[in-house]
Structure 1
Amino acid sequence: MNHRNSSVAKRVTQAMRALPRDHFIEMSDPSLVVGRIIPPTNAISEILQHATIMPEHKVLLVGTGAGYVAAVTSKLAAQVVALEIDSTMANQAQLRFNELGLRNLVQRTGDGTAGAADLGPYDRILVSTPRVADKAELIAQLADGGLLLAIEHGENNSPILTRYEISELGATLRKELAMVDFSRDTGMTLLDMGMVDQVMLSEARRVARDKKLPVIKVLRDKLNMEDATLYKRLAEEKAMPFATIEELLPQVQPELMEGFSRSFLDSHHLIPLKADGHSLQVATDDPDSSIGDIFHMYPYQAVDKVLVTPNDFKRLWTTVELSLQGNAEQLWTATAKLKEEQEDLLDGEKNKVEAHLITLCDALLVEAVSEGASDLHIEQYKHRVRIRLRVDGDLHDLNQYKLSPQDARGLINVIKIRGDMDIAEKRLPQGGRSQLTAGGVNYDLRIQVQPSLHGEAAVIRMLPQSGNIVAIEDLGMTPKLMKDYRRLLQNPSGLVLVVGPTGSGKSTTLYAGLSELAKDGRRKVLTIEDPIEYSIEGIQQTWSRPDIGFSFADGMRSFVRLDPDVILVGEIRDTETALEAIRASQTGHVVLSTLHANDAVDALQRIYDLQVHANSIASELMAVISQKLAKRICPECRREVEPDPAILAELFPESVPDSFRCYEGAGCEACNGRGTKGRVAVVEYMQVNSEIRTGISLQYPIARLRATALDCGLVTMRDSALAHVVDGTIPLSELPRVLPSERMAPEKRGAW
């Protein structure tokens, strides 16, 4: 008996391998939802093994569907008759049978109740449709010793495989054989949806098993589809609700997380959202995640799963964690402030702070961090609230966040509380600061709230305080400029300025130099910064605190008594700091600092404006590095393209060099379809020599001083930008963004 069962199982397995399911999924009529018509592999295998079909048998199948089960059965039996009520489905199945050369298979259309007596009798009859309630006519078509197997509904509507046979006395015997599991895992679901083939699924299962990952996480990387679209379709197929983080945030009860083991939630890919009595709702990014253990470990009688995308799952997890860390303090602060100020407010409701708004604020900050944004913008207009992130220099809308005016007011109040501002004051601009830790990185948040026509607007600047320091090799400098920069750092004294607009990477360039100085134990390096953006081992760093009377200038005066070799001052923003920087250089120190200026030569005018004597500048200034950031082409989708004729005409008024090439990103998953990923510095470098020193001392007009610098080898921003374009680092379209129109064409050298 065991040998017979083993033999049957082997034949069923071989038949199923010989006929891959995807042959019956890729049908010519796209309107057919074929995947739902094919039972999962494990269910088919179990039914056919119970049927014990022999090579000499004639089989009747009632409910053909896509035809896959009938085709597999034809590999086991001598003849198969298939009945399907849907004529379109039956015709599609017949086409597949013909293509596969299945000559022992007859397809008919009908509801199956009457069977096909003219082609009987049958050794086996398999009924897969619940429409056939009365099986008397079918049983009458069984051959001697024949069996009828049907899927029927048992307790709780669960599918049960039932066997009918005729006894020697002519009685119909019924026996329930087993419950059949018709649930499909995600891999099988995607296969039945026609989104993957059997080879891809088998490989994904192997990788998932080796890496201990859910199959969906492996397959989603191979599918060229937006996560939201993929997971919505999966939710539909699996009859699960799908939701976005924006829909879930107002319902989240963060305190639920504290009642669960983190390792349990992590291993099961679950986040508890809300509980109502004995029922629990959880979010998951794995459609196959099991909730069975919850019933054994926690006092819930019902658990509902909501499917979310992996990105929303991570954001949701981090948001709940942040809420647990900050809710108590923030809510207490909010309540206290409101209580103090309620008597002075005309409309207390406008200043309401609800827990879900704190969670929403955290979610927006997490979104900004995950996107690598430098700024988060919240703006109110007449008919909408707009939320945007500045990523790689450009603003991008977060359209998934739909806020009402009331929500926007509450969110602004949360931001004000976080920045220690007055929530009752709505007439004047306010500024504040806060801290955030996300992904193991500390962020200093610079918050500015501004009154506007339709309500207050807020901008939060995200300044990472720790992370990977960019190496000099990754700054975007040519090999010669890197060599010159390193040489500047080795000088015994002098002033080096890195200039550019806000957010142009000036600090990054200085930190790259500091990281190399930190490795040289023979020199002492001190910094005064606001804020300290990176912690560097081997360098003494100090945070400027002007609120308590400790400014950049105060730090400089103190530093010269600490025997330093190199001093970094975060920014020269006033006369006092500029004079202290010059004095520190004159007393034998290398001084590094930043300045807001449009280009390397324009920096001199800025220092003149700070009332520093021209001779002092001329004697101490070693070099000026001016820079702006350009978007870097995504290396995963970079391709060579034809240049824009209008930009070419500006760049090369006379003729385009034969060697000129340009590239762009096509857009891919790695860059979120933008074609660019990250930014790189476009640098202008002015090394101060004797001729330039003379021009500074005599305070040449800026135009003449620039001409002198050009004659002395000034590396212009145009030179650097073109090198990046030809190398395929930045797209040609970035040049008008980093170069003013008068600097697009080559500048004339030898004018003086």
Structure 2
Amino acid sequence: MIEWTRERLGDILLRSGLVTESQLEQALEVQSAGGGRLGKILAERGVISEEQLAETLAVQKKLDLVDLTEYDIEKEVARLIPSQVAVRYQVLPLAVRDGNLVVAMANPLDVEAVDTLRVMTGYDVQPVVATESDVAWAIRQYLESEETAIRAAASAVSREPLRQEEPEIETETVPVVTLVNKLVDDAIEERASDIHFEPQTDCLRVRYRIDGVLHEVARIPKNVEPSLISRLKIMADADIAEKRLPQDGHFNYAGRGREVDVRVAILPTMHGENVTLRLLSGAISLLKLSQLGIEEDMLERLRALLSRPHGSLLVTGPTGSGKTTTMYASLNELNTPERKIMTIEDPVEYQIPGIVQTRVNTRIGLTFAAGLRTVVRCDPDIVLIGEIRDLETAQIAVRSALTGHLVLSSLHANDAPSALTTLVDMGIPSYIISSAVNGVVAQRLARRLCGRCKEQVEPEPRLVYRANIPDEDLEGATMCAPRGCKHCAQTGFSGRIAVSEIMPVSEAVAQLCVKSGSSEVIREAAIAEGMRTMRQDGIMKALAGVTSLEEIMRVVV
């Protein structure tokens, strides 16, 4: 039998040399801010792999390490516990051996989990160690079918229609609450950034956006739709009776071991109300610049721009291109005790200790411009503006950059050179832009190939021709393609990586800006000075096997 001690995971990892004290402290801060398991946080931040974590725990506790994809799991034994318990503790019973219950555990240090299983099953527990993703996969395979669970929850809702005279839903046992929680919990588990509830003529279609691509997960019966939409409105503090006008709202949600901020957009359509939930998990999403996938030489350029005491750095790209993540990774690097950093955002997506953050509230007149006017009077060293949307905000941002502040902001523009011409189009004089803007980062997000199943392939001539890749660049390339496995939900991709171009506003670029040069002319000058375009950066990543060439063609070329 295992000797149950309360030794902390962090101490084990430190003693094993897998993490440094600094890395552990940062992970503990993330855990304190947003919850979650320490090992999972370290793995998500790239400090250790799931396999390293599992191997360390197995060695330290003298337990067997198992691969659940190869293990002969007994279904009857697996079902000794409810799926909710398995998910909560990340455990799965595998077999009964010599009167003991063999249980796969992602965290064999969890004494509470062992005690719970002992009481529930009546067996002494013999843990074995498995990776968390293996346990999650096995739970889905043996204890719950997501589609079946959602369908069952929807069926329960259809038997209890919402009563308009009693819109308040307070108890967690109400079927509609169970259904909504199930959909949001699953989205969090699948790392979805958005949940789309889309009314059709005969159903309510539910889709998750995972790594930038939409995946259908359920079709809810039409008679359940009013109850589900009403529940979402109540959670978002929206008007449950208003069905003709668009509405916005937000709420905080705690599920699957982490807390997320949820933004809600409601839009009336021909077949009902379309509801979109944006899931913002600040504690998990906050990254370092080195984790964004920016090549080392370009990263040096970016850090040089951030090291300047004043001026502005603009991050451009379409919605969902990772602009906020890049800006917060920059703030994370700049956040030192001797600096005062203030932000004005809509909404505050990531919360960082030591930074003063303000949320825009247009209902009471707290716009970007109004908030920014006060922010610059609070003696900040660095100011982050969530987005420059209008001339007034742009004017204050430029003025702040010229009066001793370092300003970071996002802007909607197709590429780095276009950011300068966009400001001119807004009404900012070109001679001021050339003095106030230090540089521009333009980016897109490409899906990263799953490291567990990607396979090396020969370059496809059709794509090589379309991307105009020279033969010499293909020499020594390790191009890969997606295959699909249980770890990536058979998609072949896991996570995303930034494809970017970084353009310092040099003297030559500034002069072209003053002369009202076009974005193409500015681009040529920037390339001549060493700027790598997004297209070039993406192709480099495809040639290195980080992503696929087809994916780069989808997002950039």
Give the alignment's TM-score, normalised by structure 1: 0.54
The 3 A distance-change label for structure 1 pair 263 and 408 is: farther
Deviation of 1:402 (Å): 5.1
State yes or no: 1:467 paired with 2:284.
yes
Cα distance in 2, alignment partners of residues 592 and 208 from structure 1: 46
The 3 A distance-change label for structure 1 pair 435 and 721 is: same
Cα distance in 2, alignment partners of residues 462 and 635 from structure 1: 25
Deviation of 1:666 (Å): 2.6
The 3 A distance-change label for structure 1 pair 442 and 580 is: farther
The 3 A distance-change label for structure 1 pair 503 and 315 is: farther
Aligned to 2:38: none
Aligned to 2:514: 697
Partner SS, residue 262 of structure 2: strand
Give the alignment's TM-score, normalised by structure 2: 0.72
Cα distance in 2, alignment partners of residues 642 and 570 from structure 1: 43
Deviation of 1:578 (Å): 0.6
8 Å Cα contact 2:444/2:556 also seen in 1: no
Q: Deviations over 1:36-93 (max 9, x none)?
A: xxxxxxxxxxxxxxxxxxxxxxxxxxxxxxxxxxxxxxxxxxxxxxxxxxxxxxxxxx
State yes or no: 1:499 paired with 2:354.
no
Cα distance in 2, alignment partners of residues 443 and 562 from structure 1: 30
State yes or no: 1:714 paired with 2:531.
yes
State yes or no: 1:739 paired with 2:556.
yes
Aligned to 1:339: 165
Cα distance in 2, alignment partners of residues 472 and 582 from structure 1: 25
State yes or no: 1:222 paired with 2:70.
yes
Cα distance in 2, alignment partners of residues 376 and 491 from structure 1: 39
Aligned to 1:614: 430
Cα distance in 2, alignment partners of residues 434 and 653 from structure 1: 47
The 3 A distance-change label for structure 1 pair 665 and 560 is: same
What is the one-letter code of the residue matched to 1:459? T
Unmatched segments (≥5 aa) in structure 1: 1-203, 224-229, 246-261, 271-287, 294-307, 324-330, 343-352, 741-752
Aligned to 1:591: 407
Cα distance in 1, alignment partners of residues 167 and 230 from structure 2: 13
Q: Deviations over 1:250-286 (max 9, x none)?
A: xxxxxxxxxxxx997874449xxxxxxxxxxxxxxxx
Deviation of 1:665 (Å): 3.5
What is the one-letter code of the residue matched to 2:540? A
What is the one-letter code of the residue matched to 2:316? V
Aligned to 1:547: 363
State yes or no: 1:641 paired with 2:457.
yes
Aligned to 1:380: 199
Aligned to 2:42: none
8 Å Cα contact 1:528/1:544 also seen in 2: yes
The 3 A distance-change label for structure 1 pair 425 and 720 is: same
Match of 2:393 among 561, 564, 577: 577
8 Å Cα contact 2:190/2:210 also seen in 1: yes
The 3 A distance-change label for structure 1 pair 269 and 582 is: same
> Comparing both chains, which one has the higher relative contact order based on Cα–Cα distances under 8 Å and sequence gaps of 6 or more?
2
The 3 A distance-change label for structure 1 pair 366 and 583 is: same
What is the one-letter code of the residue matched to 2:121? S
Partner SS, residue 329 of structure 2: helix
Match of 2:541 among 724, 735, 748: 724
The 3 A distance-change label for structure 1 pair 391 and 341 is: closer
Cα distance in 2, alignment partners of residues 406 and 673 from structure 1: 32
Deviation of 1:643 (Å): 1.9
After TM superposition, the structure 1 stretch with the greater mean CA deviation from structure 2, 432-441 or 388-397, is 432-441
Unmatched segments (≥5 aa) in structure 2: 1-54, 85-109, 125-136, 154-159
Deviation of 1:719 (Å): 1.7
How many pairs are equivalent? 448
Aligned to 1:17: none
Aligned to 1:361: 180
Deviation of 1:716 (Å): 0.2
Match runs of 1:478-517 below 5 Å: 478-517=295-334
Partner SS, residue 477 of structure 1: coil
Cα distance in 2, alignment partners of residues 585 and 713 from structure 1: 25
Cα distance in 2, alignment partners of residues 420 and 537 from structure 1: 28
The 3 A distance-change label for structure 1 pair 552 and 243 is: same
Percent identity between the two aligned chains: 35
Cα distance in 1, alignment partners of residues 145 and 369 from structure 2: 42
Match runs of 1:123-138 below 5 Å: none
Cα distance in 2, alignment partners of residues 659 and 310 from structure 1: 42
Match of 1:290 among 121, 139, 142: 121
What is the one-letter code of the residue matched to 1:554? A
Two-structure CA RMSD over aligned residues (Å): 3.6
Partner SS, residue 70 of structure 2: coil
Cα distance in 1, alignment partners of residues 166 and 80 from structure 2: 44
Aligned to 2:75: 234
8 Å Cα contact 1:315/1:363 also seen in 2: no
State yes or no: 1:411 paired with 2:252.
no
Q: Deviations over 1:466-516 (max 9, x none)?
A: 235211111111111111111112112111001111111111111111112
